[in-house]
Amino acid sequence: MVNPILLIWTIFGAAIVHLWLSVRRLRQRAGYQPGQIYLFSPANLLANLFPRLKYVTVGTNWGFNWKHDSFSEFGQDIISITSLLPFPEVSLFLADPIATKDMTSSRARFPKPVEQYGLLEFFGQNIVASEGEQWKKYRKISAPAFSDRNNKLVWDEAMKITEDMIDTVWHKQDVVHIDHCVEITLPIALFVIGVAAFGKRMSWEDEEVPSGHSMTLKCALHVVTTDFIFKALLPNWALGLTSRLRKVRDGFDELRRYMKEMIAERKNTLTTARHDLFSSFIEANDGDDQVTLDESEIIGNIFIFLVAGHETTAHTLCFTFALLALYPDEQEKLFQQIDSLMPEGSLPSYEEMPKFTYSMAVFYETLRMFPPVNFIPKVAAEDTSLSTTNLHGQRINVPISKGTYVTILTPGLHYNPRYWKNPHLFNPERFLEDWPRDAFLPFSAGARACIGRKFFETEGIAILTMLISKYKISVKEEPQFSNETFEQRKARILKTGQAFTLSPIRVPLTFTRRV
């Protein structure tokens, strides 16, 4: 008779040997690249909700927390992560601008792994979660909306909306205390994209919940972008178990209802010529078969552009204001240039935007230090290779097998000391000189680079310029933090989390009117 305990141990031992051989084979195919080993895959959302445990999980917000440290530890700018569950896998991560440029310019060799973007298809297929002919279709439809004419509208509306906030919400007060800076940056960004991309004008005073809804559009967007992880991980029935989960369920339902209403409203007003993003998607239904969209595709793309167009701008501006509050000397340099370019009582035009070089430098330095998207994943479509730099400055060849996931770790690239001097230092002036463009990737690169980059830059520069011209920013004084050092304050103010994009946790600021 077979001993059951012996049988169990035999099966367990065989499984371990099989697992070890699988990992060894995978690492051999990856050229035994240096790196780390974890029980759970870094792509496992559930595992990444927990703190970092050595050899178990990479930890929450790990891509940003790593920056370039792990690359430095292993002595080269392409490293591996080997994981065992849910199945053995070896993935490669890049912080090398040469390899990055090679990869992003080779769409056939390194396409986008759309299967990793299922979370972004809550409402339908869209330009971010697509590849090949489908992506080309969405790109063709949306590209005309990101014209210079529309960017001028973005600039004018951003200026006007920011000025309206100062007049209507702040009532031109001399001192304004904000508990968390996103309280102002999120609505400003939402209002701008509402007008410029969707023809939907919102007011600072319009906070009533519309008839037929249980929350405002602003609230629904906030719920969806903040707590989407619950929608991704839990079945629908579980979203009714607690008040927070019910709010998540209702937020998704409300956002879908708002988007359907926006579509219906715009279809009834298409007799008026419009050139915004929304009209491009609605009018696609009247085109030939190659560019026609169904309603789910329209809603899916509206959702992506709403999120990308308001959350990334809002969070970047929040980090920008936080950095300027922490570094008043840099804020003063910025103000001096703005003051010299803005005669009292006048607003600069879109055509004058290139003159605001320090505004752009501050904005870019913020994007370098706090890139909205920490990971740019690709997959090898064939057996290929990339070259990288090792600890001694030598170029080495890294073999990559077909099917291997290869991810650009944006913080690793942005904090690579080989290309950025003192990368942890907030130094906007580095962008006033010759700077390493291939080592700066907040908008991705190649054919899949962000289509709304100029929209994003225009909006951010306009809002930053307008607010700094009127107010001086400082960290809000709170009694419980009265004895903290500068480094402690900096760590607290710049603490990050991860929602759809890199997010500030809490940035309490004081805005003092300039005289």
Task: List residues forming the annotated binding site.
Answer: 450
Q: How far apart are CA 515 and CA 463, in angstroms?
A: 19
Q: How far apart are CA 186 and CA 223, in angstroms?
A: 12
- Give the total residue count for the chain: 515
Nearest to 282 by CA among 268, 256, 348, 77: 268
Angle between helices 295-326 and 132-142 (to 10 degrees): 70
Q: How far apart are CA 35 and CA 81, in angstroms?
A: 6
Which are the contacts of 414, defined by CB distance < 8 A and separation ≥ 6? 67, 368, 369, 371, 420, 423, 439, 440, 441, 442
Residue 348 class from Cβ within 10 Å (0-12 exposed, 13-18 middle, 19+ buried)? buried
Q: What is the residue type of 284?
A: A
Cα dist. 135→123, 329, 378, 447, 456 in Å?
16, 45, 15, 11, 21
Beta partners for residue 496, in sequence order = 504
Q: Which residues are annotated as a binding site for heme?
A: 450
Using DSSP bridges, classify how beta strands 35-40 and 78-85 pair: parallel, antiparallel or unpaired. parallel
Which are the contacts of 289, defined by CB distance < 8 A and separation ≥ 6? none
Q: How far apart are CA 295 and CA 281, in angstroms?
A: 10
* CA 494 centroid distance within chain: 16
DSSP state of 431: G
